[in-house]
A and B are shown apart, each in its own frame.
Chain A
Amino acid sequence: MTEYTVRQINRAKALSRRMYKLPNGERIYLRFPKYQRIEHQTLILSFFTLSFSGLVQRYSHLKIANYIINQLLGGINNVQFIHHVAASIFIAQSIYHFAKIIRMLLIDQELGYMWPTKKDFLDIWGIFLYNIGKKDAKPLFDRFTVEEKLEYWALIWVNIIMIITGLIQGFPVFFTKFFSREILPISKAIHSWEAVLAVLVVLIWHTYHVLVKEKNNSIFTGYLTENQMKENHPLELIRILEAIAFMKEISKIP
């Protein structure tokens, strides 16, 4: 008889709990637990507010932006106040997210599924070959597809850059004590350009993948259907099913 560690059993237990049976017999799979959904909803709010209140400042020479600033929001000082409040939320949730990653790595001793791997580079090429008809089968994905990983890491990058350059602009006197030489105009330029990049990526890449190519609303409902799992996350589906089988097996052990 094989011996299982507590860790193995706990992991399998957690995985097996991801599958739910609906009353009509359909099986759905938990993709995002509640805390992740709340995190994302907060991000929608802070990201949208930041982009909006930031871009109207970047493009304030346009009539429409000027109208928004002066007529709708009551002046530039209000716009900046909104931007700073949203930025505080954004920073707070970034700290929360990094704390979660550290907890996962150090306490749970797990790597998670978001790290870039060699397979990702092969996958993105594989998808492209499949899409142009040079390959018959699509690469199989685990919990996160390469497209999702790309976007996640892009957001992490944007997040770090925006927070650093934003803080420098918010506290210029403090930061110039340590850094000299154009730090303010550089921060402003990067902050401004990076904002455009981030908004465009979210608008194009994210909108296409969760709204256009398929309606994936698991970030709001928390669940994916079995078909969606088979299509996008077959390796994860296998792991879940294996865990269920495993749990059944060990439940037989007296």
Chain B
Amino acid sequence: MKSRIQGSFLAFILSLFLSSVMVPVALAAPFPNSEGHQGECLLCHAQESFFAYLENGESISLTVTTDHTKNSIHWDENIYCADCHTDQSDNPHPNPDTTTCKDCHPNNEYDEEVNLANISFKLAYLTLRDYQLNLNNICKDCHQSEAERSADSTHQMVFDQGNLSAPICTDCHKSHFVVKPNQPRSMISEICSECHLAVYTTYAGSVHGAALIGEGNEDVPSCVDCHGVHDISGPYDITFRNASVIMCTTCHSDESLMAPYGISTQIIETYLKDFHARSSNLFILSNKNRPKDQAVCFDCHGIHNILAPDNPSSQVYPENLLHTCQKCHIDADITFPRTWLGHYVPTIEDNPILFFINKFYPTLIGTVLFVSSIYIFFDARKRSQLKNSIDKNEQEGK
């Protein structure tokens, strides 16, 4: 027992010694280049109360959380601090203002433990956003296709219009604690919620959102499944509206995906044959830039607030359906929604008349074709027989 206490005491002394020595040692040597260094930066940057001042007087924390950084996906891929912070790869850093170091260390001698909290460093950027935007450019060196797609996004468009708060890579993916955004999948929606909180709240109450956020069910769509990942398009343009049916059908026509929830995949086929859709091909191949005047899925079912049709709050719940129809069919009467079958193939129990019509007509058409073919066959045969005999008589007459 005694020896164990002695051991831990020794370890404590040793760690005190090491911590007091290691920081000056690290500072004394120039930073290794990106291949060499594996987080020596953290010797300083893990310290709390480590600040720099921007040109506008704002202070920013230079502290990097070690746990986050070492658990980030970049760390696993051997990508370290200086790979992104290329301008800070030398020690002392050429930028920020190195004179603040040289004031006290004119010979670059860092041989004592330094309490960084007492020193005011300066960063040569006007604002924090300037600094973030500058660093953000480095992402595309590795993530070229993502950067290209982002350049077409509605976020970039808003940014180009002068809104500097429009999200850049690091706003969604974070700078140091970079992880796969879909693990768990609900994280995607949480990332979006940082800006789109109202939509997120609505989504979280929807049938999709409740399943993803509440139950951790990964079968349901998160934000990016409909809106895209990097090339996020604006939801108000025609292309988005026209493409929306395909977004819904991609999952809702997938038998294996729908089967566990008892959702019929026929709803898509029947919808596409319906007035509103006119037909699947028309939807897919019609002039992509022309607005559709007919209802698409979300016009009836809702967008972020989509609910299961048997939920009394759903826009397509029988009691609410008239109100939903009236969005377009302003004069629609109470009987109007009842004349619609929903997305279901007519059955003999629920829709006997329609069921009968769909059986009757093929039979009628078949019968008519069969009888008239027989009639025409014998009529044509008799005519050719008569013609032959007349020709024969004429020849004999000659």
Question: In whole angstroms, how far apart are the Cα atoms of A180 and B338 in the complex?
Answer: 7
Contact check: which of A61, A130, A184, A201 meets B281 at CB < 8 Å? A61
The interface bits of chain B over 378-397 (1 if a CB of A lies within 8 angstroms of the residue's CB, else 0) are 11111100000000000000
Check A153 for interface membership: any CB of B closer than 8 A.
no
Q: Which residues of A contact B332 (CB under 8 A)?
A: 173, 176
Also in contact, A131 and B378, with CB within 8 A (given A197-B364, A197-B368): yes
Check A205 for interface membership: any CB of B closer than 8 A.
yes
Instruction: Tell whether, in the assembled complex, residue B329 and residue A128 are in contact, meaning their CB atoms are under 8 Å apart.
Output: no
Residue of B nearest to A62 (CB): B281
Check A183 for interface membership: any CB of B closer than 8 A.
yes
Q: Which residues of A contact B339 (CB under 8 A)?
A: 172, 176, 179-185
Contact check: which of A60, A182, A186 meets B279 at CB < 8 Å? A60
Contact check: which of B290, B351, B368, B375 meets A185 at CB < 8 Å? B351
Question: In whole angstroms, how far apart are the Cα atoms of A132 and B379 in the complex?
Answer: 8
Instruction: Tell whether, in the assembled complex, residue A182 and residue B333 are in contact, meaning their CB atoms are under 8 Å apart.
Output: no
> Which residues of A198-221 have CB atoms within 8 Å of chain B's CB atoms?
200-201, 204-205, 208, 212-213
Question: In whole angstroms, how far apart are the Cα atoms of A141 and B196 in the complex?
Answer: 81
Instruction: Tell whether, in the assembled complex, residue B373 and residue A204 are in contact, meaning their CB atoms are under 8 Å apart.
Output: yes
The interface bits of chain B over 311-335 (1 if a CB of A lies within 8 angstroms of the residue's CB, else 0) are 0000000000000000001011101
Q: Which residues of A contact B358 (CB under 8 A)?
A: 189, 193
Instruction: Tell whether, in the assembled complex, residue A76 and residue B379 are in contact, meaning their CB atoms are under 8 Å apart.
Output: no
Residue of A nearest to B337 (CB): A176
Check B365 for interface membership: any CB of A closer than 8 A.
yes
Contact check: which of A185, A196, A204, A208 meets B354 at CB < 8 Å? A185
Check B131 for interface membership: any CB of A closer than 8 A.
no
16 A–B contact pairs at CB < 8 A?
A57-B279, A60-B282, A63-B281, A70-B282, A75-B287, A130-B382, A132-B382, A176-B332, A177-B333, A182-B353, A184-B275, A185-B340, A186-B357, A193-B365, A196-B365, A197-B364
A contact residues vs B (CB 8 Å cutoff)? 57, 60-61, 63, 65-66, 69-70, 74-77, 127-128, 130-133, 169, 172-173, 176-177, 179-186, 188-190, 193-194, 196-197, 200-201, 204-205, 208, 212-213
